[in-house]
Amino acid sequence: MSAFQMYVRVVSSSLQPSDITARLNAEPDESSAIGSRRRPELPPRGHTSWIRRAVAPEAGARPEDLEPSVLAWGTEFAAALGALAESGAADVSLVIVQRIQDPDGTAEKGIFLGAELIRWLATAGASLDVDQYVLHECEQSQD
Across all residues in the chain, what is the average pLDDT?
Answer: 86
DSSP single-letter state for residue 93: E
Q: Which amino acid is at 8?
A: V
Averaged over 106-115, what is the pLDDT? 76
Please, which pLDDT band fits residue 4 given cuts at 50, 70 and 90? confident
Give the pLDDT confidence of 67-89 residue by residue, as tens digits.
999 999 999 999 999 999 999 99
Please, which pLDDT band fits residue 105 given cuts at 50, 70 and 90? low
Helix (H, G, I), strand (E, B) or coil at 91: strand
Please, which pLDDT band fits residue 126 given cuts at 50, 70 and 90? very high
pLDDT of residue 12 exceeding 90, the answer is yes
Averaged over 113-141, what is the pLDDT? 83
Cα 1 from chain centroid (whole Å): 16
Query: How much is the pTM?
Result: 0.83
Question: What CA–CA distance (Å, rounded) separates 33 from 54?
Answer: 21
Distances (CA, A) of 77 to 12, 25, 112: 18, 8, 23
